Amino acid sequence: MISIGIDSGAATTKAVVLCENKITGYAIIPTGFDFRKAGEAAYQEVLSKSGMDETGIGKILATGYGRSSIGFADKTISEITAHARGVCYLIPAAHTIIDIGGQDSKVISMENGKVVDFLMNDRCAAGTGKFLEYTAKALEISLDELGTLAQLSKNPAKISSMCTVFAESEVVSLRAQQVKKEDIAAGLIESIIQRTIVMVKKLGIKPDVAFVGGVAKNPGIVKTLEKVLDIKIKLPEEPQITGALGAALLA
Q: Is 237 one of the binding residues for another protein (CB under 8 A)?
A: no
Q: Is 118 one of the binding residues for another protein (CB under 8 A)?
A: yes
For residue 207, the minimal CB distance to another protein (Å) is 20
Rounded Cα distance, 10 and 30, in Å = 9
Tell me the backbone φ, ψ of residue 135, rounded to 5 degrees: -75, -30
In sequence order, the 6+-apart residues with CB closer than 8 A to the CB of 136 are 142, 143, 145, 146, 185, 188
Q: Which of 4, 80, 146, 192 binds another protein (CB under 8 A)?
A: 80
CB closer to another protein, 148 vs 161 = 161
Encoded one letter per residue, x for contact with another protein by CB under 8 A and - for no contact, window 122-161 reads: xx--------------------------------------
Q: Which of 8, 50, 76, 196 binds another protein (CB under 8 A)?
A: 76
Stretch that binds another protein, among 119-127, 143-151, 207-215, 223-231 (CB under 8 A): 119-127
Stretch that binds another protein, among 25-33, 117-125, 131-139, 171-179 (CB under 8 A): 117-125
For residue 35, the minimal CB distance to another protein (Å) is 11
Asked if residue 144 lies in contact with residue 134, where contact means CB atoms within 8 angstroms, the answer is no
Q: Which of 26, 65, 89, 131 binds another protein (CB under 8 A)?
A: 65
Nearest Cα to Cα of residue 143 among 152, 134, 151: 134
Nearest Cα to Cα of residue 65 among 118, 119, 137, 14: 14
Q: Is 68 one of the binding residues for another protein (CB under 8 A)?
A: yes
CB closer to another protein, 80 vs 189 = 80
For residue 111, the minimal CB distance to another protein (Å) is 11
Q: Is 115 one of the binding residues for another protein (CB under 8 A)?
A: yes
For residue 137, the minimal CB distance to another protein (Å) is 24
176 burial via Cβ count (<10 Å: 0-12, 13-18, 19+):
exposed
Q: Please give the residue ranges that form the binding site for another protein (CB under 8 A).
A: 65, 68, 76-81, 104, 114-118, 120, 122-123
